[in-house]
């Protein structure tokens, strides 16, 4: 649901847009042609074509422009053109390797569906990269995955002074034009205090970090722990964005496919949830950068349109936009200078004093 495309729209203004999609959705299930001389039969139950929920109808954009279909296709191709690589795990910030590759981090409460979303984002819905568990707190370290980039491989590990560390395995890295996605331990139930301390050091001190994505459960909304983290992000000037996970629980609350009219109501309910979250993530009485003016709604479980996970291409586009790897409106790759794109030398931190 494009809650705001690209500016604010009331729920009433959104009805015609949703209704147009739903009429197409309803009509797609019936055959429109019959052989000459054939008597029409009573309508038979059939499976209608999937409603297009991968575009701007699903998400909220009020300060940014929604991606074009060509840009979504570009993002899908970027993430599926090569096999994503597991790079490293780090139990503390000091363990992060030197790098000149842009990074994005995914945060969320325990059991918000973060690992499932990352597997869907990386196109690994069968052979998992991020471990998925029904038990909260399963992710216990900061895990990094590489996507795209030419070259790459394994290289010698170096200490903070740039000296090669002898012994042990080398560190994996990705080449120019790639992005590193960092999976953070969940907070809340099953988490540990020391995890929060190391995560905070990373968020504040990691120079390569381009944006942090906070996952919020569509069914439960923002919790006090989420609000506290948002305040920390604003206080330290860390760029961040909200991703509404498990949106299928709102759109498809039962195993049966909802009727078009019911799906319309479910879309409006999801829009109302987004509007409520927007007021909390962009408070007027607090200093510091607010959350980016868009909310992406997605699901790692629900497939639409040729098996694609709900809203996942929009998440991919958001990652590419944050790291300067996006395309123009026609889906053509932008040309850029790597020095301008990274903007920093090979280093671990912009605030080494933060690490004891």
- Is 176 in contact with 338 (CB distance < 8 Å)? yes
Rg (CA), the chain: 22
pLDDT score, position 2: 46
- Give me the mean pLDDT over the 286-312 stretch: 89
User: How high is the pLDDT of residue 37?
Assistant: 54
pLDDT > 60? residue 12: no
> Would you give the end-to-end CA distance of the chain in angstroms?
46
pLDDT for residue 154: 60
Are the CB atoms for 110 and 156 separated by under 8 Å? no
pLDDT tens-digit readout, 37-61:
555 454 444 444 444 554 568 899 9
Per-residue pLDDT of 173-193, as tens digits, reads 666 789 999 999 888 765 566
Beta strands in the chain (DSSP E): 60-61, 85-90, 103-108, 142-148, 153-155, 171-173, 178-183, 209-217, 240-245, 294-297, 303-304, 308-309
Query: How far apart are alpha carbons 162 and 239 in whole angstroms?
Result: 29
Angstrom distance (rounded) from CA 206 to CA 193 = 20
- By 3-state DSSP, what share of the chain in percent is helix, strand and coil, each rounded to 5? 30, 20, 50
CA-based nearest residue to 87, from 142, 127, 159: 142
Answer yes or no: are the C-beta atoms of 137 and 321 closer than 8 Å: no
- Tell which wins on pLDDT, 351 or 60: 60
Whether 261 is in a domain gets the answer yes
Q: What pLDDT is attached to residue 156?
A: 57
What distance separates the 2 farthest-apart alpha carbons in the chain?
84
pLDDT confidence of residue 176: 79
CB distance 98 to 144 below 8 Å: no
Residue 78: per-residue pLDDT:
95
| CATH code where residue 243 lies | 3.40.50.300
More confident position, 63 or 43: 63
pLDDT at residue 103, as a whole number: 96
> Around Cβ 64, how many Cβ atoms within 10 Å?
15
Predicted TM-score of the model (pTM): 0.78
- Encoding tokens for residue 107? 């945060």
160, 348 in Cβ contact below 8 A?
Answer: yes
pLDDT, position 97: 85
pLDDT of the residue at 190:
55
Q: How far apart are CA 167 and CA 316, in angstroms?
A: 37
Q: Is residue 259 part of a domain?
A: yes
Residue 51 in any domain: the answer is no
Cβ 116 vs Cβ 300: under 8 Å: yes
Asked if residue 149 lies in contact with residue 178, where contact means CB atoms within 8 angstroms, the answer is yes
Residue 31 lies in a domain: no
- Worst-scoring range by mean pLDDT, 117-126, 154-163, 334-343? 334-343
Range of the domain at 122: 68-149+178-336
- 11 is a domain residue: no
Lowest mean pLDDT among 192-196, 293-297, 310-314: 192-196
Q: List pLDDT tens digits, range 182-223.
A: 999 888 765 566 667 889 999 999 999 999 999 999 999 999
> Residue 164 — very low, low, confident or very high, per pLDDT cuts 50/70/90?
low
- Strand, helix or coil for residue 272: helix
Rounded distance, CA 200 to CA 302, Å?
32
Number of domains in the chain: 1
Is 37 within a domain?
A: no
Buried b (16+ CB within 10 A) or exposed e, 91-113: ebbeebbbbbbbbbbbbbbbbbb
Q: Which tokens sit at 133?
A: 């568990």
Question: Which pLDDT band holds residue 340 (cuts at 50, 70, 90)?
Answer: very low
- Let me know if residue 50 belongs to a domain: no
Average pLDDT, the chain: 77
Q: Which residues contact 195 (CB under 8 A, 6 or more apart)?
A: 140, 185, 187
3-class DSSP state of 225: helix
* Cβ contacts of 27 within 8 Å, gap of 6 or more: none
Q: How far is CA 310 from the centre of its chain?
A: 11
**Tens digit of pLDDT for each residue in 76-112?**
999 999 888 888 898 889 888 888 899 999 999 988 9
């Amino acid at each position: 649901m494009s809650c705001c495309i690209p500016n604010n729209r009331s729920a009433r203004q959104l009805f015609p847009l949703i209704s147009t999609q739903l009429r197409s959705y309803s009509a797609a299930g019936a055959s429109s042609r019959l052989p000459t001389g054939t008597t029409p039969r009573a309508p038979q139950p059939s499976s209608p074509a999937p409603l297009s929920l991968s575009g701007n109808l699903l998400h909220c954009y009020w300060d940014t422009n929604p991606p074009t279909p060509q840009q979504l296709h570009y993002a899908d191709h970027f993430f599926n053109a090569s096999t994503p690589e597991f790079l490293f795990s780090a139990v503390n910030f000091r363990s992060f390797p030197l790098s000149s590759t842009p990074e994005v981090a995914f945060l969320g409460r325990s059991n918000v569906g973060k690992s499932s979303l990352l597997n869907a984002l990386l196109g690994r819905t069968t052979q998992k990269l991020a471990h998925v568990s029904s038990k909260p707190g399963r992710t216990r370290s900061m895990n990094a995955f590489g996507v795209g980039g030419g070259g790459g491989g394994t290289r010698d590990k170096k200490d903070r002074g740039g000296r090669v560390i002898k012994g042990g395995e080398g560190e994996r890295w990705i080449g120019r034009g790639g992005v590193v996605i960092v999976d953070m331990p969940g907070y809340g139930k099953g988490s540990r205090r020391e995890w929060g301390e190391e995560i905070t050091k990373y968020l504040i001190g990691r120079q390569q970090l381009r944006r942090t994505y906070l996952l919020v459960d569509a069914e439960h909304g923002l919790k006090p722990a989420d609000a506290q983290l948002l305040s920390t992000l604003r206080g330290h000037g860390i760029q961040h964005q909200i991703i509404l996970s498990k949106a299928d629980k709102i759109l498809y609350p039962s195993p049966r496919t909802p009727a078009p009219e019911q799906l319309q109501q479910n879309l409006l309910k999801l829009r109302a949830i987004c509007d409520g979250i927007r007021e909390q993530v962009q408070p007027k009485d607090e200093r510091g950068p607010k959350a980016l003016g868009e909310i992406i709604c997605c699901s790692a479980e629900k497939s639409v349109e040729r098996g694609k996970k709900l809203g996942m291409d929009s998440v991919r586009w958001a990652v590419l936009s944050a790291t300067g790897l996006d395309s123009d409106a026609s889906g053509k790759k932008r040309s850029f200078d790597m020095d301008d794109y990274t903007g920093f030398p090979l280093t671990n931190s912009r605030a080494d004093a933060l690490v004891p």
